[in-house]
Amino acid sequence: MPLMEFKSTREGYGDALDELGQSHANIALVCADLTKSTESHKFAQHFPEKFIQIGVAEQNMAGIAAGLASTGMTVFMTSYAAFNPGRNFDFIRTQICYSNLNVKIIGSHAGFSDGGDGATHQMLEDVGLMRSLPNMTVLSPCDYWEAKKAIYAACKIKGPVYIRLYRESTAVITKKAGPFEIGKWQTLAEGNDVCIIGHGPVCAEALLAKEKLQEKSVSAQVVSACSIKPLDTDCLLALANSYTKLLVVEEHQKACGLGSAICEYLADKHPVKVTILGANDVFGQSGKYHELLAKHKLDAKGICASVLELLEEKNST
C-alpha cells in the first residue's frame, strides 16, 4: 500500500469548516485560545463576525456555545480533547446534551497524537465520556478526507456531535469521492482470515499490518469504524457472522471505547471473542507519536503480532 500523502485530520476539519462558513450563514465558532493549533484559524479570519475567542475557559465556552445554539445557530466548539470534553464534561452534559442543542464538539490532539505534552494532554478517555451521553453522536475519522466528510455530515444533523481529531499528519487512506454516512463503517481492505476494526489514524497502521500479514499468507479485512455512536450494527453483525474473533485497535483506554461498545452490542446479539488493543488502564507519557503507538502495540508490527497470536489461539483450540 503506497502511503504517498500525509495530512492531519484537524486539517480536514479546518478546511471543511471554512468551506461551510461560505455556504451556511448560521454557523458560529467558539474556541478556547487554540485557534491555530486546532486549524480553526481560517474560519476565524474569514468570518470574524461568527467567531468568539473565549480564552482558557472551557466550561464558559460550553455555556456560550449552548446559548448560541439555543438561538438557532449551528455552533462548532473547539479545543484539545483533554479540555473539550475533558475539562467541561459537566457543561456538555447538562447544558448541551440535556437540551439536545446543535453544538458540534471538536476534540483535537486526541489519543497519543500530542505525544510531546505527555499524560496531561493525551486524552484516552474521551470516547467513553461522550458515547455515554444521551443525544450525543460520536465520530472518529481515520484521515483528512474522512474528517472533512464527518464535519459536513455533522453539520447536516440536528443535535450534539463529538468529533475526535488528531494532531499528527498521517497517511491519507481514503478518497475524496468515497462515501460517508453517520452510522456506517467503511471497509478499507478486504480479507478472509481475520478482521481488524479501528478508528482514527491507527487505521493506517492496520493497513500496513495487513501487508505484513500477507507475507505470512494471512488475509486481513480492515474496517474504519468512524461512527462510534451510532455503531454500524449491520456491518458489525455481518463481521461477527464471518469471523469468530475480531481485533479492535484504538488510541484510547481499552475500557469504554469502541471495543467496549462492540462488546456491549455483540454480547446480546451475536457473541464472539473481541480482542482490544489500546491503553491498558494506564495514562500516557511523553514521547514521539509512533514510539507511543509501538509501546501500546498499535503500530503495524504490534497489530500484526496480535493478529498472529489470535490465529494461533484459534488453531490450538
Among all residues, which ones are annotated catalytic?
A: 58
Q: Which helix (H) or strand (E) holds 108?
A: strand 103-108
Of 125, 274, 104, 292, which Cα lies nearest the Cα of 201? 292
Q: Answer yes or no: are the C-beta atoms of 105 and 32 closer than 8 Å.
A: no
Nearest-5° angle of CA 310, CA 316, CA 317?
Answer: 95
**What is the C-alpha to C-alpha distance for residues 1 and 206, in angstroms, rounded to an integer?**
11
Bridge partners of 248, per DSSP, are 197, 276
Q: Answer yes or no: are the C-beta atoms of 148 and 12 closer than 8 Å.
A: yes
**What is the C-alpha to C-alpha distance for residues 21 and 122, in angstroms, rounded to an integer?**
30
